[in-house]
Amino acid sequence: MHLLFLGDVVGRPGRDVVTEHLPRLREELRIDFVVVNGENAAAGFGITKKICDELFEAGADVISTGNHVWDQKEALHFIADEPRLLRPLNYPAGTPGKGVGLFEGRNGHQVLVINGMGQLFMHALDDPWALIEQELANAPLKQVADAIIVDFHAEATSEKMAMGHFVDGKASLCVGTHTHVPTADTMILPGGTAYQTDAGMCGSYDSVIGMDKTEPVNRFITKVNSSRLEVASGVGTLCGTFVEVDDQTGLARRCEPVRVGGLLTLAMPEV
């Protein structure tokens, strides 16, 4: 089985590069299941139903999110009717939507997707460790799920790495999101789980993490917020992680970065 995870989609450049390249990547890489983190897809802040539909039409099977999931208030309403849109599972009880789901991929594969959010330098949410451990116990690899993807949306690289080791041997892929810069540590952990500290973003890298450079640079220099942040224009880069899963074990056989378009160096797995 082949999995593709795409990092945070940031604004129009991110949406454009995903809709341009994802249909082709699904075919060329023979992808069975795609997860896209869409929490910054609407002008850099949140996601709308229209954008969800665009990403699903482009080939996303599931859309994960993070701390910006509620920036577009309409998400509080439509998320209840769209099981393919996840929010971090460690939001308090009663929060709209779900943070985990079992979905069907190509050829009938059952894929469990877990969306968690870290605690270091982030909103104070419930304990992600116990909740993720419980979800993995509820749907074990090759007993309930053919593959398991964990999107851990976190600020600290140490917390992301710790989560990777925590789920090692129990998930097919544990990948970090939120910091928008693709890390060079794509690997398979000792227990067989594919891992990357951050998948990077789908957006313009002629920017400050997807935003027009002028205001962020000004804030660092003057310590004054002089205007609102705006999504950077320019050609986007699609960034993500490709995983080949062993159909017998549900664990990873290969894990490689994917980068297409824009300013970053091309990275394309051979299939």
List the catalytic residues. 68
Q: Rounded to 5 degrees, what are φ and ψ at 95? A: -65, 135
**For the stretch 108-130, what's the b/e string if a residue is b when 16 or more beta carbons lie within 10 angstroms of its beta carbon?**
ebbbbbbbbbbbeebeebbebbe
Length in residues, the chain: 271
Q: Helix/strand/coil (H, E, C) string of 181-227? A: CCCCCCEECCCCCEEECCCCEEECCCCECCECCHHHHHHHHHCCCCC
Helix axes 49-58 and 11-28, enclosed angle (nearest 10): 30
In angstroms, rounded to a whole number, what is the distance separating the alpha carbons of residues 240 and 238? 7
In angstroms, rounded to a whole number, what is the distance separating the alpha carbons of residues 71 and 133? 28
* Angstrom distances, CA of residue 60 to CA of 96, 140, 162: 21, 24, 28
Residue 137: is it exposed, middle or buried by C-beta count within 10 angstroms (0-12/13-18/19+)? exposed
